[in-house]
Amino acid sequence: MRTPDRRIVLGLHRSRHERRQLIAALDLGITGIDTAFNYHRFTSHTSLANVGRGLLDRFTISTKVGFFPGHDQAEHSLAPASLLEALEQTNRDLGRAPDLVFLHNPERSLREAAPDLARDTLAQACAAMEEAKVRGLCRAWGASAWHPSPLLHAIDPTVPKPAVLMIRCGLFVGFHALKDAASLAERWSDHTTQLWGMSPFGGNANNPVWSRFDARVFLRNWPDHLTQMQAAFRTAFHLPHVNTVAVGTDDPTHLRDLVDVLSCEVDEQAVVQYRNLLHHKAQPQPA
């Protein structure tokens, strides 16, 4: 068993929720799992408690609340009562308190709200998360945002700061998304807030783009056998700069590849040049 490495969190968004996946993670020193109230058709917590019997205490568990069962599809809400109820159920289903709970894509309930209402809604949701922490329903809370832009105007300086901010990372994140993520981190973090990245392959490692582009250009001294996905994963820690990345895989060989590439060094200069290229491309071009 390897020494625990907190830089990788095993994300369960697309996972089959199998015990062998949890055992493989522990063997590789991965002790963080990230799930959500709505993952696995709203059964992720009970499935995890079931397949992870006897193992779960060895993991740090993060989860998310914000999506609730609806008629045809999941509905989003930041209503404090709904968030707290979901957290009570999460505790029952997991059989323990999660270590971290994210507000799940809070922007979904804010994007069409007037600025005052958006500020109020976010403030009340954060107050509910603080209450959850005091009641022992979670050890800490954070916020996970896919499109940070609608959140930017809802953050009042008096709103409490999340312990962790989770944002998209990797080579599929464009200039505007990187800029919004930086603005979000500037407005809604303090010196204790950690920045996590998510979805380093944009959710699809089979995208044909990966065979047309060599992500190894972002690494220094990479070994011959290094795969394209390994290089893209290592680079994702720098686009934007994040401490930890939540990545999904059901394949223990893939997971080992991800752990192995952590020891490779990223060429910061190549990343800066790439960011400059994104910046240039985002500027209005002369007709």
Q: How many CB atoms lie within 10 A of CB 204?
A: 12
Site for ligand NAP in 25-44 (CB under 6 A): 34
Q: Say whether the peptide bond before residue 98 is cis (omega within 30 degrees of 0).
A: no
What would the x/- binding string for ligand NAP be over residues 131 to 170, using CB under 6 A? Answer: -------------x-x-------------------x----
- Tokens 């995890």 found at: 48
CB of 32 to ligand NAP, least distance (A): 10
Q: Kindly compute the dihedral angle of the four CA atoms of residues 174, 176, 181, 184, in this order, to the nearest 10 degrees.
A: -170
Pairing of the two strands 194-198 and 244-247: parallel
Tell whether residue 250 is a contact of ligand NAP (CB under 6 A): yes
Distance CA 12, CA 34 (A): 6
Options 17, 40, 45, 254; binder of ligand NAP; rule CB under 6 A: 254
Options 47, 105, 235, 244; binder of ligand NAP; rule CB under 6 A: 105
Q: In the 8-state DSSP scheme, what is residue 284? A: P
What would the x/- binding string for ligand NAP be over residues 42 to 61, using CB under 6 A? Answer: --------------------
Phi/psi of residue 167, each to 5°?
A: -135, 165
Q: Kindly compute the dihedral angle of the four CA atoms of residues 133, 134, 135, 138, in this order, to the nearest 10 degrees.
A: 20
Tell whether residue 95 is a contact of ligand NAP (CB under 6 A): no
Tell whether residue 11 is a contact of ligand NAP (CB under 6 A): yes
In terms of Cβ atoms closer than 10 Å to its own Cβ (0-12, 13-18, 19+), residue 190 is exposed
In the bound complex, which residue of the shown chain has the CB atom lying closest to ligand NAP? 11
Query: What radius of gyration, in Å, describes the C-alpha atoms of the chain?
Result: 19
Biggest alpha carbon distance in the chain?
63
CB of 35 to ligand NAP, least distance (A): 7
> Given the complex with ligand NAP, which of 91 and 199 has the nearer CB atom?
199
Options 30, 246, 259, 264; binder of ligand NAP; rule CB under 6 A: 246
CB of 100 to ligand NAP, least distance (A): 12
> Given the complex with ligand NAP, which of 106 and 155 has the nearer CB atom?
106
**Which residues of this chain interact with ligand NAP, rule CB under 6 A?**
11-14, 34, 64, 104-105, 144, 146, 166, 198-203, 205, 229, 246-251, 254, 257-258
